Amino acid sequence: MKYSYKLSDAVHLLSYLHIYQDGDLSSKAIADSIESNPSVVRQLMSDLRTAGLIVTRKGAAEPRLAKNPREINLFDIYQAINMDHDLLHVDPKTNLKCIVGGNIQASLEKYYDQIQAAAFNEMKQISLADVIDDILQRQSTKLDLLKKQI
């Protein structure tokens, strides 16, 4: 099974833009942080720009958030990126002559829709600022531990 890291990478990119807003914001620098390719970063930036989450200028490595991080939630980011927006997927190839195979798709779709709605509601409660604050808190804790070891 192949996993998509687009949401994770998009949140990473937006967090990077905020934390390093006075630093190197080139697609290469961001790609180095994500450990990805600059072209992947540029595609994500294009999606995020189209969704109104970032502002960019052609020919300038000066992308910035279009809104306060408190005004951007994980669902906004999820919706912005170009990908399949179903969290769970039902196997479409089942034996329709079998009791289970003939009914599992409709049964699971009902439950998957409930799960997805709950997940989306949770995503709406988590802001980009929450993620950024957590990142900075974790870094601060790491630095404190290093100081104690010295």
CATH of range 6-149; options 3.40.50.720, 3.30.70.580, 1.10.10.10, 2.60.120.470? 1.10.10.10
Q: Report which of residues 83 and 7 the model is more confident about.
A: 7
Highest mean pLDDT among 50-54, 92-96, 103-107: 50-54
| Residue type at position 49 | R
Which pTM was predicted? Answer: 0.88
Question: What is the distance between the alpha carbons of residues 90 and 122, in angstroms, rounded to a whole number?
Answer: 22
H runs (alpha helix) in 20-127: 27-34, 38-50, 74-80, 99-125
Is the backbone of residue 59 left (phi > 0), alpha (psi -120 to 50) or beta?
A: left
Provide the 10 A C-beta neighbour count for residue 53.
24
Q: Kindly give the interhelix angle for 38-50 and 27-34, rounded to the nearest 10 degrees.
A: 110
- Taking only the tens place, the pLDDT of each residue in 25-45 is 999 999 999 999 999 999 999
- Residue 150: pLDDT above 80? no
Is the backbone of residue 81 left (phi > 0), alpha (psi -120 to 50) or beta?
A: beta
The predicted structure's pLDDT at residue 1: 54
